[in-house]
Amino acid sequence: MMNIIFYHPTFDSKQWIDGISKRLPQAQVRAWQRDDMQPADYALVWQPPQEMLASRTSLKGIFALGAGVDAIITQEQRHPGTLPAGVPLLRLEDTGMSLQMQEYALATVLRYFRRMDEYQLLQQQKQWRPLTPHQHGDFTVGILGAGVLGSCVAEKLIDMNFQVRSWSRSLKDIPGVKSFFGEEQLYDFASGCKLLINLLPNTPQTAGILNTNLFAHLREHAYLINLARGAHLVEGDLLRALDSGQIAAATLDVFIEEPLPGMHPFWSHPRVSMTPHIGANTLPEQAMDNIAANIRAIEEGRAPTGLVDLTRGY
């Protein structure tokens, strides 16, 4: 008998317990509760309380119920031992998130490219004023992060005739996309970009990367779309760049503090558009298919997908 424990602060535990039990009939799946010290082979978690995993060194895998694992890694750094030594941490790769990110990115890029944001402001002022259209040749899109999500977004924008470049740690070969890599190529990447999309993981190397220095290398009146984590953005730097016009407008899905506090200036800024961290939701059925397949792989001695490299932080 295999034992699986589940913890998510907001998901419907019953849906997940039933769904995993259906996919893995040999497993006993239970919602973890405080003081549950009973043995377990696998854990499915999001923002787990510190005591849930600490000392569970006999786990064969910990499955994060999302793509980004920064919260769990940060918790381990603050409270060493949160993640039991030697137990693999796995994350969701795609499981329906790529399509959602493509939709979000394409909708937002087109909104700025076709100047719909400006027409919305003009409508509020009852102004009938055709604006000079942006041209594809002057509207290079740069994507920070060319992993599972960044590369799919790049492909979608290429399909729509945009000039696209990406920045990652290693060189990429995505048809039609100019690849930049490593810290030393960051500003070359940025220079010439009219619109920047962030799809990096949040790590000590990438936190605060959306800052005044980077904005200064973009084209004048550039656009920003942050789809990754709030910690990537230096919020005061964005407000200053919006004031100076260096950044024309920004769309933000993620924030340092979520939900965004009611007094935050982003709520009412005319050039900031916001969504409440819905860029790409975890889709239960696809995520459960992926996790069940990975558990089967581990049980059969095959390599699972989505292994996190704890030293890299993603």
Q: Pick one of ligand NAP, ligand GLV, none as the site partner of residue 148 (Cβ within 5 to 8 A by kind).
A: ligand NAP
Q: Which is nearer to ligand NAP, 122 or 256 (CB)?
A: 256
Cis before 133? omega within 30: no
Minimum Å gap between C-beta 33 and ligand NAP is 27
Q: Contact between 200 and ligand NAP (CB under 6 A)?
A: yes
Q: Catalytic site residue 277?
A: yes
CA distance linking residue 158 with residue 162, whole number of Å: 5
Stretch that binds ligand GLV, among 26-34, 64-72, 164-172, 235-243 (CB under 6 A): 64-72
Which are the contacts of 50, defined by CB distance < 8 A and separation ≥ 6? Answer: 75, 79, 82
Q: Contact between 146 and ligand NAP (CB under 6 A)?
A: yes
CA distance linking residue 105 with residue 251, whole number of Å: 10
Q: Which is nearer to ligand GLV, 59 or 67 (CB)?
A: 67
Q: Name the nearest CA neighbour of 272 among 245, 251, 257, 256.
A: 251
Q: Dihedrals φ, ψ of 86, to 5°?
A: 85, -5
Residue sitting closest to ligand NAP (CB): 147
**Per-residue x/- track, 92-111, ligand NAP (CB under 6 A):** -----x--------------
**Per-residue x/- track, 26-65, ligand NAP (CB under 6 A):** ----------------------------------------
Q: Contact between 169 and ligand NAP (CB under 6 A)?
A: yes
CA distance linking residue 294 with residue 275, whole number of Å: 32
Q: Contact between 67 and ligand GLV (CB under 6 A)?
A: yes
226, 235 in Cβ contact below 8 A?
no
Question: Which of these is catalytic: 277, 296, 302, 312?
Answer: 277
With vertex at residue 227, the alpha carbon angle to CA 68 and CA 143, rounded to the nearest 5 degrees, is 100
Q: Which is nearer to ligand NAP, 24 or 146 (CB)?
A: 146
Beta strands in the chain (DSSP E): 2-7, 27-31, 42-45, 61-64, 89-90, 141-144, 164-168, 177-181, 195-198, 222-226, 247-252, 272-274
CA 95 to each of CA 32, 101, 159, 309: distance values in angstroms, whole numbers, following the listed order: 24, 12, 22, 19
55, 79 in Cβ contact below 8 A?
no
- Please identify which residue in the block is written with the tokens 């603050």: 78
Q: Which is nearer to ligand GLV, 68 or 150 (CB)?
A: 68
Q: Contact between 132 and ligand NAP (CB under 6 A)?
A: no
Q: Contact between 304 and ligand GLV (CB under 6 A)?
A: no
Q: Contact between 203 and ligand NAP (CB under 6 A)?
A: yes
Q: Contact between 249 and ligand NAP (CB under 6 A)?
A: no
Q: Which is nearer to ligand NAP, 40 or 89 (CB)?
A: 89
- Residues catalogued as catalytic: 229, 277
